[in-house]
Chain A
């Protein structure tokens, strides 16, 4: 093993990427864990917002619909970086004001919570559109049938709409998940130590920029490819019982 690395001229890279100090591999993996944690949280938070947003857009009153239209348009037109800064400052300001009003001092907000909050709101706008499209694709008759049975709205959501729309929503949600994993890199700019920032620190202190940035790129690629495989399975599961689209489309 060491001989192979030596002949390829990668011995120094392997040394730098070793898991234990003085290698920086452990830091990178810790960064990756942080990134994934935030991506999971933001994706979940975004899904919840998206579910409410989509129901609001489809079944809500005129005011709710207009407000949601403003939300999705603004979020999708302003760069994530700017939104992250705005939401970060708004969030910390709000929490500090609340805690000061309640008699506590300033609160230190954990990077994970802040990251989930800002990315979740951004994801929510995209999820709203994805889920709205998916809900609209569910045949109306199925929902009407459920209503005719006297099911309450939440039960219709749980038993009919969500299972029926899953197959339409999975491709869009898979895209959103990939965007979530890549957007966590933006939190590096507000100083949260996720994978990209850890990489930059490691690279800056060892001057081995290519080694570390390529290693981080490989980690991101692994996450992307792995989630691609998972989502393909989820989509297959969501489509169970539906006629195959292959053969009809071409």
Chain B
């Protein structure tokens, strides 16, 4: 079992005919995800691999196929518009993979969708994977097996590393959720922790954070006061210099805030076992 995506997911791909959209659509279909529609403005009426109909707009695609989740693979300069389009079409769950969206666009998006009943995951994220059921994003399917560990992470490949290490010792994941590395995003650590706490098929949780912002500190407070399930943590960026953006737009220590040390201390104070490196995580889960 799982959170957010499963066998009931009816997925729509925005930007399905672009090179990344097409490549990952095929990967998701091969994994068994139910991809019901694609959207590329101006290419309505075409078909992808003779199986997936392409529409001109999200609204038409949703009416025609009953899509209930959208994934966005469009370039950064058009991505905010794609999120607005999906939200206005009434898609309740939107996953945005795109990296490099201006933060002012994301602030407008966030303030807009907060008034609607819409959940956004990302942007600048690898999406999510419910092993054995659905892959909505770019997490390689073959590195994870079904299990009872819920994973939430701000990173992409670092999450793969953790999934792979778990698989080596026979441990699997209920759902793995990449919330993305941008400073303003749709879903944060606490949102996902709350879902895992309520999910009967998740018994343990891995939370992967990194420098920048205060999301992990807030999550620590949530864990201490609201969670009953054990959480293992990892924070990347202990050796990162202050004032430099470490690849992710949100990974920066500014004015002494957002350091790895502060986050690790907050998590440990909340009773979270914090791994010293990613491959220690499976052992701490036992």
User: Do these two chains interact?
Assistant: no
Residues of A within 8 A of B (CB): none
